[in-house]
Structure 1
Amino acid sequence: MKEAAKGGRLEGKVAVITGATSGIGEATAELFAEQGALLVLTGRNKDKGGALVERLGDCARFVAGDVREEGHIAEAIGTATATFGRLDCLFNNAGGPTPGTLEEVSPDQFRYAMDLLLGSVVFGIKHASPVMKAQGSGAIINNASVAALRTHMGEYLYSAAKAAVRQLTKVAGMDLARYGITVNSIAPGGIATPIFFGGSGRAATMDDGHVAASMAKLERNLALATPLRRTGMPRDIAHGALYLASDEGRFVNCHDLVIDAGMTAAGRTHFGDA
């Protein structure tokens, strides 16, 4: 297995990343490892998690589980402190599609959406903040969405939960600032990830040819929704997370970093052929 990278922007820093087995979480894990971070990664897919850790090397550990369960989040953070001795960054990234219209939504669907998208952030902050308070430093990053900023950019429950994440970020950032802890969110725009196929679980059921064709079509369509006529990729969000987790972002707090190629400035618009 490879050793942790030396001389990077996160050298010696310890990070926990939830939802790390695909999309934005996977891209962030890869970038953080390249920049010298020590990582504890979480996700529900043990095979993907094991493969990711094997690829990243000795700098990474994987904790399988579901972020809808508080105990899983506590386990991941406990693994970071037990293995590496500290916690410098928590990226509350895990998420997924949320079914149901307002006319048809069930109590179970509502609880699922809120537990996944909002509860995981609440309990992530709950368990990370005592460790960071004791250190006198830390960076908490929450994955929000442009769906929290404009209408018709996400499903009902998804949009509501992400708006709550954005506000929670500001409240927590104000509360934890006195301890040297920053709390920020990232609002991705049209990023080509498995969430558009119904989540990574649905994508895993598709053959390689279907995935490739669907991804190519998705990238073309997403490009048409931005003024830059460019598709966002998971690595674009990972670089935003890297900035907020590194020393360069230490003066940024209670901020929602919008990474959307100008999509929200224009609203729901078609910009012509890609």
Structure 2
Amino acid sequence: MGNRLSGKVAVVTGGTSGIGEATVELFVTEGARVVFTGRNGDKGEKLAEKFGASTRFVQGDVRNEEDIQRAIDTATDEWDRLDCLFNNAGGGMGGTLETVTKEQFHDAMDLLVGSVLFGIKHAVPIMKEQGSGAIINNASVAALSTNYGGFLYSAAKAAVRQLTKVAGIELAPWGITVNSIAPGGIATPIFFGGSERAADMDDAHIAASMAKLEKNLAAATPLQRTGHPEDIAYGALYLASDEGKFVTCHDLVIDAGMTAAGKTNFEGKPPATSW
């Protein structure tokens, strides 16, 4: 067990699968106490039992501001502080420019941008009173270039990236850092249509799909490596720890060189879902 987050309290949204789950596990290993959220109550409770007494699970949907506030309130009620907020929850967004509906637009903005904005809103008063805090927002390489995601997803993640910089400047006088992470092709349930759809797949189907996915994702990077949730979790760990205290308004790109090389995916075509 490490101690890079010893004594710190964190909230991680979307913590029941993929990047969020890996981050919760790593943060606990490094000494943090963590509140994590997710829509899947059964899985969340099982993970809280697995991770132990240093975690609390709050079932909820980050599209609802009240659920975000409840998670942050749980952290302060249980441990009387909040040192890190990782606005991680998200998902892929479909639709085309010619068929997009108002409902799809609002769903994308609520899930990918609103969840970040309202997470910051409810974390800030606590962090201001402390005179410290680290806010981390999950952005995407889709915010940096075209062909890394659908237009709704890309636009929303670009908004997250800019929101991060604006918030970082506004909150700097209180010692609060605000940064984003831009994951590249990370092998997570987002490529299966989300964790709920993956939960309906049998183990053999998931294993076969994951093997194909990892091969294709590796081919899209100069390093010829597949990204895994823990690769992003380690980036979040750095930004949440005292080691990242001099970093703010920064977008940490973790993509094995994919955007620098200008690659889209293994076939040179837009990916079927969002990165």
TM-score after normalising by structure 2: 0.96
1:79 to 74, 77, 80: 74
Note if contact 1:227-1:271 (Cα within 8 Å) is conserved in structure 2.
Answer: no
Note if contact 1:182-1:250 (Cα within 8 Å) is conserved in structure 2.
Answer: yes
Shift of 1:269: 5.1
Quote the residue 1:53 is aligned against: 48
Give the gaps of 5 or more residues in structure 2.
Answer: 268-275
Moved over 2 A (4+): 268-272
Spell out the pairing of 1:17-32 with structure 2 (5 A cutoff). Answer: 17-32=12-27
Quote the residue 2:120 is aligned against: 125
Shift of 1:18: 0.1
Q: Does 1:256 align with 2:251?
A: yes
- Residue aligned with 2:115, SS: helix
Summarize the Cα distance change of 1:270–1:181 in structure 2 as closer, same or farther, 3 Å threshold: closer
Distance 1:271 1:127 in 2: 41
Shift of 1:152: 0.5
Quote the residue 1:174 is aligned against: 169
Distance 1:174 1:270 in 2: 34
Distance 1:269 1:162 in 2: 17
Note if contact 2:216-2:266 (Cα within 8 Å) is conserved in structure 1.
Answer: no
Distance 1:17 1:144 in 2: 14
- Residue aligned with 1:30, SS: helix
Distance 1:228 1:254 in 2: 27
Letter in 1 for 2:222: P
How many residues end up aligned between the 2 structures? 267
Note if contact 1:229-1:271 (Cα within 8 Å) is conserved in structure 2.
Answer: no
Note if contact 1:140-1:181 (Cα within 8 Å) is conserved in structure 2.
Answer: yes
Distance 2:96 2:42 in 1: 33
Quote the residue 2:213 is aligned against: 218
Quote the residue 1:92 is aligned against: 87
Partner deviation per Cα, 1:84-104 (whole Å, 9 max, x = no partner): 110000000000011211110
Letter in 1 for 2:197: R
Distance 1:244 1:109 in 2: 32
Quote the residue 1:110 is aligned against: 105
Partner deviation per Cα, 1:144-177 (whole Å, 9 max, x = no partner): 0000001000011000000000000000000000
Distance 2:135 2:58 in 1: 19
Letter in 1 for 2:42: D
- Residue aligned with 1:239, SS: helix
Distance 1:126 1:270 in 2: 36
Partner deviation per Cα, 1:54-88 (whole Å, 9 max, x = no partner): 11100000000100000000000000000011000
Shift of 1:271: 7.2
Give the gaps of 5 or more residues in structure 1.
Answer: none
Partner deviation per Cα, 1:1-42 (whole Å, 9 max, x = no partner): xxxx5x510011000000000000000000001000000000
Shift of 1:267: 1.4
2:130 to 132, 135, 142: 135
- Residue aligned with 2:137, SS: strand
Quote the residue 2:11 is aligned against: 16
1:145 to 140, 148, 155: 140
Quote the residue 1:268 is aligned against: 263
- Residue aligned with 1:186, SS: strand
Distance 1:88 1:102 in 2: 40
